[in-house]
Structure 1
Amino acid sequence: MLYDLVLAPFVEFDFMRRALVGTLALALGAGPVGVFLMLRRMSLTGDAMAHAVLPGAAVGYLLYGLWLPAMTLGGLIVGFAVALLSGLVARVTALREDASLAGFYLISLALGVTLVSLRGSNVDLLHVLFGSVLALDDAALILIAGITTVTLVALALIYRPLVLECVDPTFLASVSRAGGPSHLIFLALVVLNLVGGFQALGTLLAVGLMMLPATSARLWTSEITGLIVLATLIGMLSGLVGIIISYHTSLPTGPCIILVAGGVHIASLVFGRAGGLIWRLIPQRHLTA
């Protein structure tokens, strides 16, 4: 029974193994990035950037069809451009960076959908918006693995300034100039992981595997290392369970993965030891003998 339910799909079908490997690799890179987005109070920035890559991917699609390198390069170029432009607008106008980014991402989303609709069918539009985990090929797996490797190495190099900026940005600014470069590198990692997630989950769901595990982990622990490990494990588990549910129910795989992560998030809201509803309702002893 357990074999038929869990192991058989991956033993019998190559596309299921590819989907699992790709999702696990995505979770390994997106988990730590999502944790730092949350700690830096930039959670909605990830959502905005996920939409911002759509026009670039759409241009790649218009020129070369559903060819991975063209769509990836287009998404990277537009994602970096939107990140830089939103920062520039915030510096030279009265708008704050979040408002500027919101404006750019809404324009990007509408433009991207329009561009895909010019040439493609509704099926192509759904593929771009929601991805196709079960259609991952060797090129997509290599891309995702490369992005995850770059992410982990870069985070290891800028880990200390990132943590300091989350805890005490004023102190970091007084003792080092690493805050600015580390912020730019971190934004680049966000874009990279969203482009990687776009291949499997589409522009509308890629941020889900980044933010839902991170916010769920925060309800169980407040220690940064624990957050990163737990968020990564939740992302991997959500990918595994979501793929299995999709296989047995014929539901779309990407949404199943995000719904499983959403279920973990809701359970964490209720039962989480570091801020869940139940633990907040239990009276705490303030004084002990």
Structure 2
Amino acid sequence: MLYDALIAPFLEFEFMRRALAGVVALALGGAPIGVFLMLRRMSLVGDAMAHAILPGAAIGFLFSGLNLFAMTFGGLIAGFSVALLAGLVSRVTVIKEDASLAAFYLVSLAVGVTIVSMRGTNIDLLHVLFGNILALDDQTLLVIAFNATITLVVMAVIYRPLVIECVDPVFLRTVSRAGAPAHLAFLALVVVNLVNGFHALGTLLAVGLMILPAGIARFWSRDITGMMMISVASAMISGYFGLVLSFQTKVPSGPAIILVAAVLYVFSVLFGNVSGLVRQLFPGRHLEA
């Protein structure tokens, strides 16, 4: 029974194996990025940027249909453009960066949906908004894996300044000039991984496997390295059981993955050993001298 439910779908169907490989790549690339978004209090920025890539992907769709490289390139250009424009507006006007991003992402979402609706069908619109990880082809899987590899390599290079900036940004500015380049590289990685998530989960859920696993990890570890490892593991678990849930029921694959992650998040809120509600209500005995 457990074999038929948990293992057989991945042995019998190639599309399930591709989807699982895509989930693993998304977890390896996106979950560590989510940890730093959370620690830098930029979680909602990630959500705004996920919507910002839509018009670029939609323009790629307008000219080439559901062409992988056109939509990827368009999404990257749109994401970088919105990030730069929002930063510019916040620096030269009285509008703060969060309000500037909110304005741009709402405009981007409206423009993207309009473009897809004018050219495509309701099925195309649903594909763009919610994705379909069960329909990943070899090219898409290779792009996701390549982006995840680039993310891990760049993260290894900028890891130290990112950690120091999360802990003490003033200290980093006084001892090094690596803060600004590391921040720009980090924003670039955010956009790259949102484009990854867009292909698998759609623009509305692209940020899900970045933020929810990071929130889960925060309740189980105080160490950044530990949080990154837990976030990657929880993203993989959410992806695996989400695919199983989608296969066994009529729940779409993307929402199923995010729902499993949400269940893990609620469990962590209740029982996590770092500020979990049950832990706070029933603290263990402290060692006495």
Write the mapping of 1:121-200 to structure 2, written as runs, cut at 5 A.
121-200=121-200
Separation of aligned partners in 1, 2:261 and 2:284: 30
Residues 113-159 of structure 1: CA deviation (Å, up to 9, x unaligned): 11110011111100000001011001101100010000000000000
TM-score by length of 2: 0.98
Deviation of residue 19 (structure 1)? 0.5
Residues 208-228 of structure 1: CA deviation (Å, up to 9, x unaligned): 110000001101111000000
Change (3 A) 1:286 1:6: closer
Q: Do structure 1's residue 259 and structure 2's residue 256 form an aligned pair? A: no
Amino acid at match of 1:214: A
Q: Helix, strand or coil: the match of 2:165?
A: helix
Separation of aligned partners in 1, 2:287 and 2:273: 20
Partner residue, 2:12 = 12
The gaps in structure 2 that reach 5 residues or longer are none
Query: What is the aligned-residue RMSD (CA, Å)?
Result: 1.0
Separation of aligned partners in 2, 1:50 and 1:35: 16
Q: Runs of 4 or more off by more than 3 Å in structure 1?
A: 283-287
Q: Helix, strand or coil: the match of 1:177?
A: coil
Separation of aligned partners in 2, 1:179 and 1:282: 41
Q: Helix, strand or coil: the match of 2:204?
A: helix
Partner residue, 1:81 = 81
Amino acid at match of 1:95: I
Amino acid at match of 1:177: R
Q: Helix, strand or coil: the match of 1:273?
A: coil
Deviation of residue 2 (structure 1)? 2.1
Deviation of residue 283 (structure 1)? 4.3
Amino acid at match of 1:105: Y
Separation of aligned partners in 1, 2:57 and 2:75: 5
Deviation of residue 250 (structure 1)? 2.5
Partner residue, 2:71 = 71
Percent identical: 65
Q: Do structure 1's residue 25 and structure 2's residue 25 form an aligned pair? A: yes
The gaps in structure 1 that reach 5 residues or longer are none
Q: Do structure 1's residue 115 and structure 2's residue 115 form an aligned pair? A: yes
Q: Helix, strand or coil: the match of 1:205?
A: coil
Partner residue, 1:58 = 58
Amino acid at match of 1:137: D
Separation of aligned partners in 2, 1:38 and 1:282: 27
